[in-house]
Amino acid sequence: MPDTRNAIDVRNAVKRYGSFTALQSITLSIRDNEFFTLLGPSGCGKTTLLRMIAGFEDVTEGEIFLFGEEIENLPPHQRPVNTVFQNYALFPHMTVEENVMFGLEMRGSSREAARQTAGKMLELVQLAQFSARKPSQLSGGQQQRVALARALAPQPKVLLLDEPLSALDLKLRQAMRSELKSIQRETGITFTFVTHDQEEALTMSDRIAVMSAGRLQQLGEARDIYERPVNRFVADFIGETNLLDARLEAVDASVATCRLANGLTLECDAIGSARSGADVHISIRPERMTLTAVNDDPWQGTVKENIFVGTDVQTIVQLQGDIALTVRTQNSAAGVATIFDPGTEVAITVEAGAARMLED
Amino acid sequence: MAGAAATGGSARSETYASARNWLLLPSWAVLGIFVLAPVAMMLVYSFLTKEFRGGVIWEFTLSAYDQFFFDRGLFGDEPAKIEWTYILIFWRSIWQAGLATLLALLIGFPTAYFIATRPAQTRTVWVFLITIPYWVNLLIRTVSMKFLLRDQGPLNDFLLATGLIDDPIRIINTNAAVQIGLFYSYLPFMVLPIYASVERYNFALSEAAADLYANKWTTLRRIVIPSVRPGIIAGCILVFVPSLGAFLAPDLLGGAKNFMIGSLIEEQFKGNAGNWPFGAAASMILLTLVLVILMFLARQQARADREATS
């Protein structure tokens, strides 16, 4: 029996289109009241999973539960979840108010009650003064808010958001992020958010499910996924990282010693079942390394290039054995002091605990 | 400099204006020769006196209109009485055309919706299939329909063979036969414009409606139909107007008792028995009727559009 306290329980959900498998046995739980994000590149199956929860796609195998109630065989109009669509899908022949009232009326509210709730919802998204307009007379950001108000008005048990910010420009997108987050807190409704933008996912989510190629790669809190990725895909997809091939030399209690192809060694937390001699991968975030003037440390290289990116500077350092590392230095007085001209020999310090061993 | 530029600009726009007028000339010529001139001729002829072996005498009279609406004449010695014969023919034409439009809509809308929701490659095939009958002349198709529907025709043979009926049903020479003929002739004119609208329809709207607890029927009524209404109106006009003036289907399938306006007008210009001014007057009345209906629909559409944007 699924846990009735969970907003959504997906059990071994499989989606096949003919011979193509879009989702391979996904199992995950979305807790009540949380901001949950499905994150992954396009084609990873995140939208398919969302549409299966909404009822627009059949579930080939497996079950979906909503607060303990099995819903995967219900048609969409009988599922108490609402969706904010990627391109809003506002009804063009209705006013903003009528759009927001639609779901309420369909659930049996009287016209008057629906109008009152719609008014409150439009206030929540700060569009009360636009209630008599048609969607075509609103900007993209305003249409986005109407779509949000329309989906929230019938008080769904779970709100599904399908890349709702992707059509907005950067500034508006950033503003909407914090607004979405605060509306989620205010209404207490469980949000399930689909995005391919890792920054969006990291800034808004309580928990993130990283997906790739129809599989769930990792599920956890933002910091957890960033600091402790379980495989190369997650390490690379979330933020930036240096991925290096290595061999596991020795495992001593919880410390694993790995040797890179050029002979340098690194210590990381031992994870998984890898034995000495196994081929592994190392992920080091660029901001977890610093450059210093050359010393007798074996971690040395030549600065190839400095790339100015505003908040910080990316330095590409060439090590012996054809290994290149990207090091990020903050664009501050202290940071700028550790930036060296191209061609300079430098020493690299890897922070303790910064190297993450990955088996896959 | 600024002044010179302004003068140059206005001189250029004048050149453009005159060029534009010259380039529009072919369109005006086509409209003039094929639309305005025939209608003007019809209008003039409707006020002329009839010549007995066809043709007209150039003498102004209102007798054609008088004959259409009144018994014994409006200008005679006795009190005028309304003549119902022609008004009844008009009335029959209007409801026959209206019914044909309604039937075409009831069958055409689901057909168009079905085609528009097929995968892109098969859609073309369906549209192609819809247009195939149009490769054969309407006269030939209507005559074929006559053979299909007659008492010893394939339809009755089939129904007798299945045992559904014991005696052939009489279809030919009834209003029902005219109805079948009109419906069959103009159905594609209903399907194609609705198909074009449904194809442009954003099906995410149907998903949004289902997501907001609307069942299929409510979604169709409140979201799909309002969105494709321009196509529905275009289809209705394209079926209603030609059905109203049709004469092949009523003549060939309806027989003498089920006369429609088209046949009435056609009779007036045929052989020696005709009455050109009366035919012209009936045409003008038909034209006025159609224009009034179209203007009404156009105004409805304009109001809906205004509501959609204001």
**Distance between CA atoms of A186 and A152, rounded to whole angstroms?**
12
CA distances from A310 to A306, A330, A331, B218 (A): 12, 9, 7, 54
CATH class of A6-232: alpha beta
Assess if residue B210 is contained within a domain.
yes
How far is A322 from chain B, CA to nearest CA, in Å? 51
Which residues of chain A does B200 touch, with a Cβ-Cβ cutoff of 8 Å? Answer: none
| Separation CA A150–CA A154 (nearest Å) | 8
Q: Does B214 touch chain A (CB under 8 A)?
A: yes
B13 falls within a domain: no
Beta strands B70-71 and B81-82: pairing type?
Answer: antiparallel
Per-residue pLDDT, B219? 95
Instruction: Please indicate whether, in this complex, the C-beta atoms of B223 and A106 are within 8 angstroms of each other.
Output: no
Q: Is residue B40 part of a domain?
A: no
Close Cβ partners of B24 (under 8 Å, ≥ 6 residues apart): none
pLDDT for res B1: 40
Residue B52 lies in a domain: no
Establish if B15 touches chain A: CB-CB under 8 angstroms: no
**What are the tens digits of pLDDT across the range B189-247?**
999 999 999 999 999 999 999 999 999 999 999 999 999 998 999 999 999 999 998 88
A283/B contact by beta carbon, under 8 A = no
Write down the architecture of domain A240-358 according to CATH: Beta Barrel (2.40)
CATH number of B144's domain: 1.10.3720.10
Q: Please tell me if residue B161 touches chain A, with a CB cutoff of 8 Å.
A: no
Give residue B3's pLDDT: 44
Would you say residue B1 lies in a domain?
no
Long-range own/partner contacts, residues B19-24 (CB < 8 A, 24 or more apart): none
Task: Give me the residues of chain A with pLDDT under 70, please.
Answer: 1-2
Contact of A76 with chain B, judged by CB distance below 8 Å, is answered with: yes
How distant, in Å, are the alpha carbons of B103, B135, B199 from that of B191?
A: 12, 17, 12
User: Looking at the 3D structure of chain B, how many domains does it have?
Assistant: 1
| Closest CA in chain B for residue A98 | B222
Q: Which residue of B has its CA nearest to A150?
A: B212
By the 8 A CB rule, do B226 and B192 touch?
Answer: no
CA distance A289 to A349: 5
In a domain, B300, yes or no: no
- Mean pLDDT of the residues in chain A: 91
**Reported confidence tier of residue B4, pLDDT bands at 50, 70, 90:** very low
For residue B305, being part of any structural domain is answered with no
- Res B71 pLDDT > 90: no
Question: Which among B213, B223, B309 has CB closest to A77?
Answer: B213
Residue B76 CA: distances (Å) to CA of A84, B48, B62 = 75, 19, 13
- B119/A contact by beta carbon, under 8 A: no
A7 touches chain B (CB under 8 A): no
Q: What is the pLDDT of residues B6-17, one digit of tens each?
A: 455 566 667 777
What's the pLDDT at A116? 95
At residue A36, φ and ψ (nearest 5 deg) are -110, 135
CB atoms B213 and A154 under 8 Å? yes
How close B211 gets to chain A, by Cα (Å)? 5
Tell if the CB–CB gap between A85 and B208 is shorter than 8 Å. yes
Of residues A68 and B73, more confidently modeled: A68
- Per-residue pLDDT tens for B242-255? 999 888 888 888 87
Segments forming the whole domain that contains residue B225: 84-268
Which chain B residues touch A102 with a CB distance below 8 Å? 209, 212, 214, 222
